[in-house]
Structure 1
Amino acid sequence: MTSGVALFVIDIQNYLAADAATQIPHADRIRATGTKILLTARGIVDRNCTQSPFRIVFVQHEQLPGDGPLIKGTQPWKLVFEPREGVREETLVAKSTRDAFESNPDFASQLKSMDITDIIAFGIQSECCVESTCGGALAAGFGVTVLGGAHSTYDDGGMSAVDIEREVEGRLAEKGARVVPWEEAVGLWERMERLDFWT
Protein backbone atom coordinates (compact mmCIF):
# COMPACT_ATOMS: atom_id res chain seq x y z
CA MET A 1 0.00 0.00 0.00
CA THR A 2 1.31 3.46 -0.87
CA SER A 3 1.89 5.75 2.09
CA GLY A 4 1.05 9.42 2.02
CA VAL A 5 4.37 11.26 1.89
CA ALA A 6 5.21 14.95 2.16
CA LEU A 7 8.55 16.19 0.88
CA PHE A 8 9.62 19.18 3.00
CA VAL A 9 11.83 21.82 1.36
CA ILE A 10 12.99 23.78 4.40
CA ASP A 11 14.08 27.43 4.31
CA ILE A 12 16.05 27.42 1.07
CA GLN A 13 15.86 31.20 0.92
CA ASN A 14 17.95 33.80 -0.88
CA TYR A 15 19.82 35.02 2.19
CA LEU A 16 20.92 31.49 3.06
CA ALA A 17 21.36 29.96 -0.38
CA ALA A 18 21.60 32.55 -3.18
CA ASP A 19 23.47 35.63 -1.93
CA ALA A 20 27.24 35.30 -2.22
CA ALA A 21 27.75 37.67 0.72
CA THR A 22 25.57 35.78 3.21
CA GLN A 23 24.91 32.25 1.96
CA ILE A 24 26.07 29.10 3.75
CA PRO A 25 29.39 27.63 2.55
CA HIS A 26 27.74 24.73 0.73
CA ALA A 27 24.92 26.72 -0.88
CA ASP A 28 25.93 25.55 -4.37
CA ARG A 29 25.50 21.94 -3.26
CA ILE A 30 22.10 22.60 -1.71
CA ARG A 31 20.84 24.40 -4.83
CA ALA A 32 22.12 21.63 -7.11
CA THR A 33 20.75 18.78 -4.99
CA GLY A 34 17.48 20.63 -4.47
CA THR A 35 17.08 21.04 -8.21
CA LYS A 36 17.54 17.31 -8.80
CA ILE A 37 15.37 16.27 -5.86
CA LEU A 38 12.50 18.52 -6.92
CA LEU A 39 12.75 17.57 -10.59
CA THR A 40 12.42 13.90 -9.70
CA ALA A 41 9.75 14.35 -7.03
CA ARG A 42 7.65 16.62 -9.23
CA GLY A 43 7.78 14.11 -12.04
CA ILE A 44 6.41 11.44 -9.73
CA VAL A 45 3.75 13.76 -8.29
CA ASP A 46 2.63 14.76 -11.79
CA ARG A 47 2.41 11.17 -12.98
CA ASN A 48 0.30 10.32 -9.92
CA CYS A 49 -1.88 13.40 -10.30
CA THR A 50 -5.18 11.61 -9.83
CA GLN A 51 -5.50 11.21 -6.05
CA SER A 52 -1.75 11.51 -5.59
CA PRO A 53 -0.58 10.38 -2.15
CA PHE A 54 2.42 12.70 -2.41
CA ARG A 55 2.80 16.34 -1.42
CA ILE A 56 5.63 18.87 -1.60
CA VAL A 57 5.71 21.40 1.25
CA PHE A 58 7.85 24.54 0.92
CA VAL A 59 8.70 25.93 4.33
CA GLN A 60 9.58 29.64 4.52
CA HIS A 61 10.94 31.39 7.61
CA GLU A 62 9.76 34.89 8.49
CA GLN A 63 11.31 37.40 10.88
CA LEU A 64 10.22 40.78 12.17
CA PRO A 65 12.24 43.90 11.36
CA GLY A 66 15.11 44.04 13.82
CA ASP A 67 15.03 40.30 14.48
CA GLY A 68 16.88 39.21 11.35
CA PRO A 69 17.11 39.51 7.57
CA LEU A 70 14.25 37.20 6.58
CA ILE A 71 11.57 39.88 6.59
CA LYS A 72 8.45 38.99 4.64
CA GLY A 73 8.39 40.55 1.18
CA THR A 74 12.12 41.29 1.03
CA GLN A 75 14.63 39.78 -1.37
CA PRO A 76 16.54 37.85 1.33
CA TRP A 77 13.27 36.20 2.46
CA LYS A 78 12.29 34.91 -0.99
CA LEU A 79 12.55 31.20 -1.76
CA VAL A 80 15.06 29.76 -4.21
CA PHE A 81 12.53 27.00 -5.00
CA GLU A 82 8.87 27.99 -5.00
CA PRO A 83 5.64 26.00 -5.21
CA ARG A 84 4.10 25.90 -8.66
CA GLU A 85 0.91 27.88 -9.06
CA GLY A 86 -2.19 25.79 -9.55
CA VAL A 87 -0.59 22.51 -8.42
CA ARG A 88 -2.63 21.29 -5.47
CA GLU A 89 0.11 18.90 -4.35
CA GLU A 90 2.49 21.80 -3.66
CA THR A 91 1.93 24.09 -0.70
CA LEU A 92 3.71 26.89 1.14
CA VAL A 93 3.97 27.00 4.92
CA ALA A 94 5.27 30.08 6.71
CA LYS A 95 6.90 29.83 10.11
CA SER A 96 8.39 32.16 12.72
CA THR A 97 10.11 29.55 14.90
CA ARG A 98 12.58 26.83 13.99
CA ASP A 99 9.89 24.15 14.08
CA ALA A 100 7.21 24.47 11.39
CA PHE A 101 4.85 22.42 13.58
CA GLU A 102 5.33 24.72 16.56
CA SER A 103 4.67 27.77 14.38
CA ASN A 104 1.53 26.18 12.92
CA PRO A 105 -0.36 24.25 15.64
CA ASP A 106 -2.89 22.80 13.16
CA PHE A 107 -0.24 21.74 10.64
CA ALA A 108 0.09 18.14 11.81
CA SER A 109 -3.66 17.53 11.76
CA GLN A 110 -3.91 19.09 8.29
CA LEU A 111 -1.26 16.73 6.96
CA LYS A 112 -2.90 13.74 8.61
CA SER A 113 -6.25 14.73 7.08
CA MET A 114 -4.52 14.28 3.70
CA ASP A 115 -3.39 10.80 4.82
CA ILE A 116 0.22 11.92 5.13
CA THR A 117 2.08 9.47 7.37
CA ASP A 118 5.70 10.23 6.52
CA ILE A 119 7.88 13.26 5.89
CA ILE A 120 11.08 13.46 3.85
CA ALA A 121 13.14 16.56 4.62
CA PHE A 122 16.02 18.60 3.28
CA GLY A 123 17.10 22.25 3.37
CA ILE A 124 18.74 24.83 5.62
CA GLN A 125 19.97 25.11 8.41
CA SER A 126 20.83 21.61 9.56
CA GLU A 127 21.01 22.23 13.32
CA CYS A 128 18.27 24.85 13.36
CA CYS A 129 15.12 24.59 11.27
CA VAL A 130 15.83 21.20 9.65
CA GLU A 131 16.50 19.47 12.96
CA SER A 132 13.70 21.26 14.80
CA THR A 133 11.06 20.66 12.12
CA CYS A 134 12.07 17.00 11.84
CA GLY A 135 11.86 16.74 15.62
CA GLY A 136 8.42 18.33 15.54
CA ALA A 137 7.32 15.84 12.90
CA LEU A 138 8.56 12.90 14.97
CA ALA A 139 6.80 14.25 18.07
CA ALA A 140 3.58 14.54 16.04
CA GLY A 141 3.79 10.88 15.09
CA PHE A 142 5.11 11.07 11.53
CA GLY A 143 7.82 8.89 10.13
CA VAL A 144 10.78 11.06 9.16
CA THR A 145 13.49 10.61 6.55
CA VAL A 146 16.34 13.09 6.35
CA LEU A 147 18.11 13.35 2.99
CA GLY A 148 21.81 13.21 3.75
CA GLY A 149 23.90 15.61 1.71
CA ALA A 150 20.86 17.76 0.92
CA HIS A 151 20.88 19.86 4.08
CA SER A 152 23.59 22.13 5.42
CA THR A 153 24.45 25.16 7.54
CA TYR A 154 27.22 27.60 8.43
CA ASP A 155 30.55 26.60 9.96
CA ASP A 156 30.23 27.26 13.69
CA GLY A 157 32.32 27.11 16.83
CA GLY A 158 35.26 25.42 15.19
CA MET A 159 33.04 22.82 13.55
CA SER A 160 32.66 22.63 9.81
CA ALA A 161 29.21 22.66 8.26
CA VAL A 162 29.68 19.05 7.14
CA ASP A 163 30.54 17.97 10.70
CA ILE A 164 27.40 19.69 11.95
CA GLU A 165 25.35 17.94 9.23
CA ARG A 166 26.59 14.54 10.47
CA GLU A 167 25.92 15.42 14.11
CA VAL A 168 22.36 16.46 13.30
CA GLU A 169 21.77 13.24 11.36
CA GLY A 170 23.06 11.25 14.34
CA ARG A 171 20.76 13.02 16.77
CA LEU A 172 17.73 12.59 14.55
CA ALA A 173 18.54 8.93 13.94
CA GLU A 174 18.65 8.40 17.71
CA LYS A 175 15.11 9.81 17.86
CA GLY A 176 13.90 7.38 15.20
CA ALA A 177 14.44 9.19 11.90
CA ARG A 178 15.86 7.48 8.84
CA VAL A 179 18.92 9.07 7.28
CA VAL A 180 19.24 8.28 3.56
CA PRO A 181 21.78 9.82 1.17
CA TRP A 182 19.85 12.02 -1.23
CA GLU A 183 21.34 10.25 -4.29
CA GLU A 184 20.11 6.91 -2.99
CA ALA A 185 16.64 8.27 -2.31
CA VAL A 186 16.34 9.86 -5.75
CA GLY A 187 17.57 6.66 -7.39
CA LEU A 188 14.91 4.67 -5.57
CA TRP A 189 12.23 7.21 -6.53
CA GLU A 190 13.22 6.91 -10.17
CA ARG A 191 13.14 3.10 -10.11
CA MET A 192 9.98 2.69 -8.03
CA GLU A 193 8.02 5.71 -9.33
CA ARG A 194 6.97 6.66 -5.80
CA LEU A 195 8.37 8.60 -2.88
CA ASP A 196 7.64 6.01 -0.18
CA PHE A 197 10.63 3.87 -1.12
CA TRP A 198 10.75 2.11 2.26
CA THR A 199 7.49 0.17 1.76
Structure 2
Amino acid sequence: MTTRTALFVIDIQNDLTTDPATRIPAADRIRTAGEKILTTARRLQTDNIRDAKSDPPGMIVIVQHEDLPGQGPLKKDTPAWELVFPPETGEYLVQKTTRDTFESNPHLAEMLKRKGVEHIWAFGIQSECCVESTCIGALNAGFRVTLLRGAHSTYDVDGKSAAEVEKEVEHRLEGRGALIEDWEKVVRLWGAMIG
Protein backbone atom coordinates (compact mmCIF):
# COMPACT_ATOMS: atom_id res chain seq x y z
CA MET A 1 0.00 0.00 0.00
CA THR A 2 1.37 3.43 -0.85
CA THR A 3 1.60 6.20 1.68
CA ARG A 4 -1.52 8.32 1.89
CA THR A 5 -0.86 12.01 1.80
CA ALA A 6 -2.77 15.21 2.49
CA LEU A 7 -2.51 18.51 0.62
CA PHE A 8 -2.84 21.49 3.00
CA VAL A 9 -4.02 24.75 1.37
CA ILE A 10 -3.23 27.30 4.07
CA ASP A 11 -5.12 30.58 4.51
CA ILE A 12 -5.61 31.63 0.89
CA GLN A 13 -8.26 34.17 1.85
CA ASN A 14 -9.59 37.35 0.28
CA ASP A 15 -7.84 39.84 2.56
CA LEU A 16 -4.46 38.31 1.72
CA THR A 17 -4.94 37.69 -2.00
CA THR A 18 -7.71 39.74 -3.62
CA ASP A 19 -8.13 43.06 -1.78
CA PRO A 20 -5.81 45.58 -3.51
CA ALA A 21 -5.33 47.46 -0.23
CA THR A 22 -4.20 44.47 1.84
CA ARG A 23 -3.06 41.63 -0.41
CA ILE A 24 0.48 40.27 -0.34
CA PRO A 25 2.86 41.36 -3.16
CA ALA A 26 2.85 37.87 -4.73
CA ALA A 27 -0.93 37.42 -4.52
CA ASP A 28 -1.33 36.79 -8.27
CA ARG A 29 1.43 34.16 -8.23
CA ILE A 30 -0.10 32.37 -5.23
CA ARG A 31 -3.60 32.35 -6.75
CA THR A 32 -2.25 31.01 -10.07
CA ALA A 33 -0.14 28.34 -8.35
CA GLY A 34 -3.01 27.41 -6.06
CA GLU A 35 -5.42 27.00 -8.94
CA LYS A 36 -3.03 24.74 -10.87
CA ILE A 37 -2.06 22.68 -7.81
CA LEU A 38 -5.68 22.18 -6.75
CA THR A 39 -6.94 21.43 -10.26
CA THR A 40 -4.34 18.69 -10.62
CA ALA A 41 -4.81 17.33 -7.09
CA ARG A 42 -8.58 17.24 -7.57
CA ARG A 43 -8.23 15.32 -10.82
CA LEU A 44 -6.06 12.80 -8.98
CA GLN A 45 -8.81 12.48 -6.36
CA THR A 46 -11.42 11.86 -9.02
CA ASP A 47 -9.30 9.23 -10.75
CA ASN A 48 -8.17 7.77 -7.39
CA ILE A 49 -4.59 7.52 -8.67
CA ARG A 50 -1.82 6.47 -6.29
CA ASP A 51 1.86 6.27 -7.13
CA ALA A 52 4.58 5.55 -4.58
CA LYS A 53 7.23 7.59 -6.42
CA SER A 54 5.21 10.78 -6.81
CA ASP A 55 3.16 10.34 -3.60
CA PRO A 56 0.17 12.41 -4.79
CA PRO A 57 -2.31 13.74 -2.23
CA GLY A 58 -4.86 11.25 -0.96
CA MET A 59 -6.96 14.01 0.58
CA ILE A 60 -7.28 17.79 0.39
CA VAL A 61 -7.43 19.96 3.51
CA ILE A 62 -8.45 23.61 3.11
CA VAL A 63 -7.30 25.69 6.10
CA GLN A 64 -9.12 28.93 6.98
CA HIS A 65 -7.82 31.39 9.57
CA GLU A 66 -10.16 33.36 11.82
CA ASP A 67 -8.86 36.35 13.77
CA LEU A 68 -10.32 36.75 17.23
CA PRO A 69 -11.91 40.14 18.03
CA GLY A 70 -9.32 42.92 17.99
CA GLN A 71 -6.59 40.70 16.51
CA GLY A 72 -6.89 41.27 12.78
CA PRO A 73 -9.09 41.61 9.68
CA LEU A 74 -10.00 37.94 9.14
CA LYS A 75 -13.27 38.09 11.09
CA LYS A 76 -15.56 35.12 10.58
CA ASP A 77 -18.31 35.61 7.98
CA THR A 78 -16.75 38.77 6.51
CA PRO A 79 -15.59 39.18 2.88
CA ALA A 80 -11.95 39.40 4.07
CA TRP A 81 -12.25 35.98 5.76
CA GLU A 82 -13.75 34.19 2.74
CA LEU A 83 -11.67 31.54 0.97
CA VAL A 84 -10.34 31.98 -2.56
CA PHE A 85 -10.46 28.18 -2.99
CA PRO A 86 -13.42 26.82 -1.01
CA PRO A 87 -13.51 23.09 -0.34
CA GLU A 88 -15.29 20.83 -2.78
CA THR A 89 -17.27 17.71 -1.96
CA GLY A 90 -15.11 15.21 -0.08
CA GLU A 91 -12.51 17.78 0.94
CA TYR A 92 -11.90 18.87 4.51
CA LEU A 93 -12.36 22.41 5.81
CA VAL A 94 -10.25 23.08 8.90
CA GLN A 95 -10.67 26.38 10.68
CA LYS A 96 -8.12 27.82 13.06
CA THR A 97 -7.44 30.78 15.35
CA THR A 98 -3.69 30.26 15.84
CA ARG A 99 -0.84 30.11 13.33
CA ASP A 100 -0.41 26.36 13.78
CA THR A 101 -3.36 24.45 12.35
CA PHE A 102 -2.55 21.49 14.61
CA GLU A 103 -2.49 23.64 17.74
CA SER A 104 -5.92 25.07 16.87
CA ASN A 105 -7.24 21.57 16.13
CA PRO A 106 -5.84 19.17 18.76
CA HIS A 107 -7.52 16.10 17.23
CA LEU A 108 -6.47 16.82 13.63
CA ALA A 109 -3.23 14.80 13.69
CA GLU A 110 -5.03 11.79 15.14
CA MET A 111 -7.80 12.02 12.51
CA LEU A 112 -5.25 12.21 9.69
CA LYS A 113 -3.29 9.24 11.05
CA ARG A 114 -6.50 7.19 11.38
CA LYS A 115 -7.02 7.82 7.67
CA GLY A 116 -3.49 6.57 6.96
CA VAL A 117 -1.91 9.97 6.23
CA GLU A 118 1.85 10.07 6.77
CA HIS A 119 2.94 12.83 4.40
CA ILE A 120 1.66 16.41 4.14
CA TRP A 121 2.15 18.67 1.11
CA ALA A 122 1.71 22.34 2.08
CA PHE A 123 1.38 25.75 0.46
CA GLY A 124 -0.34 29.06 1.13
CA ILE A 125 -0.01 32.28 3.10
CA GLN A 126 1.85 33.69 5.09
CA SER A 127 5.20 31.96 4.75
CA GLU A 128 6.73 32.92 8.11
CA CYS A 129 3.45 32.76 10.03
CA CYS A 130 0.77 30.15 9.41
CA VAL A 131 2.60 28.19 6.69
CA GLU A 132 5.78 27.71 8.73
CA SER A 133 3.91 27.12 12.00
CA THR A 134 1.59 24.54 10.44
CA CYS A 135 4.54 22.74 8.83
CA ILE A 136 6.32 22.65 12.19
CA GLY A 137 3.13 21.41 13.85
CA ALA A 138 2.89 18.63 11.26
CA LEU A 139 6.55 17.66 11.76
CA ASN A 140 6.10 17.65 15.54
CA ALA A 141 3.06 15.38 15.11
CA GLY A 142 5.23 12.87 13.21
CA PHE A 143 4.25 13.61 9.61
CA ARG A 144 6.65 13.96 6.70
CA VAL A 145 6.25 17.44 5.25
CA THR A 146 6.90 18.87 1.79
CA LEU A 147 6.54 22.63 1.32
CA LEU A 148 5.80 23.69 -2.25
CA ARG A 149 8.35 26.35 -3.28
CA GLY A 150 6.83 29.21 -5.25
CA ALA A 151 3.35 28.49 -3.87
CA HIS A 152 3.77 30.22 -0.51
CA SER A 153 4.50 33.86 0.22
CA THR A 154 4.01 36.80 2.57
CA TYR A 155 4.44 40.55 2.91
CA ASP A 156 7.75 42.42 2.86
CA VAL A 157 8.71 42.49 6.54
CA ASP A 158 11.50 43.80 8.79
CA GLY A 159 13.43 45.27 5.85
CA LYS A 160 13.29 41.97 3.94
CA SER A 161 11.43 41.33 0.73
CA ALA A 162 8.75 38.65 0.66
CA ALA A 163 11.04 36.57 -1.59
CA GLU A 164 13.81 36.72 1.04
CA VAL A 165 11.37 35.67 3.77
CA GLU A 166 10.18 32.75 1.62
CA LYS A 167 13.77 31.49 1.26
CA GLU A 168 14.46 31.89 4.99
CA VAL A 169 11.36 29.88 5.86
CA GLU A 170 12.37 27.14 3.42
CA HIS A 171 15.85 27.02 4.96
CA ARG A 172 14.48 26.80 8.51
CA LEU A 173 12.01 24.07 7.60
CA GLU A 174 14.70 22.06 5.77
CA GLY A 175 16.72 22.28 9.00
CA ARG A 176 13.80 20.64 10.79
CA GLY A 177 13.56 17.83 8.23
CA ALA A 178 10.96 19.12 5.78
CA LEU A 179 11.43 18.73 2.03
CA ILE A 180 11.14 21.71 -0.33
CA GLU A 181 9.93 21.04 -3.88
CA ASP A 182 9.11 23.42 -6.73
CA TRP A 183 5.33 23.42 -7.13
CA GLU A 184 5.52 23.36 -10.94
CA LYS A 185 7.70 20.24 -10.93
CA VAL A 186 5.30 18.50 -8.54
CA VAL A 187 2.27 19.44 -10.65
CA ARG A 188 4.02 18.10 -13.77
CA LEU A 189 4.68 14.78 -11.99
CA TRP A 190 1.10 14.53 -10.78
CA GLY A 191 -0.22 15.58 -14.18
CA ALA A 192 1.78 12.85 -15.91
CA MET A 193 -0.06 10.32 -13.77
CA ILE A 194 -3.39 11.52 -15.13
CA GLY A 195 -2.32 11.20 -18.74
TM-score over 0.5 for the pair: yes
Specify the TM-score bucket, using the shorter chain as the normaliser: over 0.9
Amino acid at match of 2:171: G
Q: Is the 8 A contact 1:126 1:164 kept in 2?
A: yes
Task: State the partner residue of 1:24.
Answer: 24
CA distance in 1, matches of 2:70, 2:128: 23
Q: Is the 8 A contact 1:3 1:53 kept in 2?
A: no
Q: Is the 8 A contact 2:57 2:121 kept in 1?
A: no
Name the TM-score, length of structure 1 as normaliser. Answer: 0.92
Task: State the partner residue of 1:54.
Answer: 58
Q: Give the deviation of 1:81 after TM superposition.
A: 0.4
- RMSD of aligned Cα (Å): 1.3
Task: State the partner residue of 2:160.
Answer: 159
CA distance in 1, matches of 2:111, 2:10: 18
Q: Is the 8 A contact 1:53 1:115 kept in 2?
A: no
Q: Give the deviation of 1:192 after TM superposition.
A: 3.3
Task: State the partner residue of 1:146.
Answer: 147
Q: Secondary structure of 1:21's match?
A: coil
**Counterpart check, 1:14 vs 2:14:** yes
CA distance in 2, matches of 1:147, 1:124: 12
Q: Secondary structure of 1:19's match?
A: coil
Q: Give the deviation of 1:65 after TM superposition.
A: 2.3
Task: State the partner residue of 1:70.
Answer: 74
Task: State the partner residue of 1:119.
Answer: 120
Deviant stretches of 4+, over 3 Å: none
Percent of aligned positions that are identical: 60
Amino acid at match of 1:27: A
Amino acid at match of 1:42: R
Q: Is the 8 A contact 1:65 1:71 kept in 2?
A: yes
Q: Is the 8 A contact 2:7 2:57 kept in 1?
A: no
Amino acid at match of 1:48: N
Q: Give runs of aligned pairs for residues 78-117 of structure 1, distance below 5 A.
A: 78-84=82-88, 87-88=89-90, 90-117=91-118
Name the TM-score, length of structure 2 as normaliser. Answer: 0.94
Unaligned runs of 5+ in 1: 194-199
Q: Deviations over 1:131-156 (max 9, x none)?
A: 00000000000000000000000001
Task: Report how many residues are paired.
Answer: 188
Unaligned runs of 5+ in 2: 50-55
**Counterpart check, 1:42 vs 2:42:** yes
Task: State the partner residue of 1:196.
Answer: none
CA distance in 1, matches of 2:68, 2:100: 17
